[in-house]
Amino acid sequence: VQLQAYGGGLVQTGDSLRLSCAASGRTFGSYAMGWFRQAPGKERESVAAINWSGGITYYADSVKGRFTISRGNAENTVYLQMNSLKPEDTAVYYCAVDRIPVRLELRHNRDDYEYWGRGTQVTVSS
């Protein structure tokens, strides 16, 4: 199983980016998927998550109103639309898959996720 996040880049404050995550090797249509990020010297933190059906989402307080997570038409894709980017959003962004399928509740703790793929760097200049 492989997950690949891409779409990062160097942008200025206030700009937008759309991250994509593609999974291969298995079908994850029955699993929640999440986006996490890790800034230098900091722990990996949850940014957003979406449940298996796409009907429930979670956002960290720091990104609410600016970021939107969505699932693609293909079962193994998830996106993160990031608007009004700030320098504090600078980090490597990772996508991951919930360990357990079809959960009733949406988890967003990193310990509930697996199959961490290679991240994508997002750098926001001031």
Separation CA 31–CA 50 (nearest Å): 9
Task: Tell me if 36 sits within 8 A of 45, measured CB to CB.
Answer: yes
Could you report the per-residue pLDDT of 75-125, keeping only the tens digit for each?
789 999 999 999 999 999 999 999 999 998 999 999 999 988 789 999 999
Could you report the per-residue pLDDT of 23-45, keeping only the tens digit for each?
888 888 899 999 999 999 999 99
Please name the amino acid found at residue 108: H
**pLDDT average, residue stretch 51-74:** 94
Q: Among candidates 65, 40, 57, 49, which has minimal Cα distance to 97?
A: 49
Q: Is the dihedral of CA 12, 60, 121, 39 positive or negative?
A: positive
Q: Among candidates 98, 14, 16, 8, which has minimal Cα distance to 58?
A: 98
Supply 71's token pair.
Answer: 């699932």
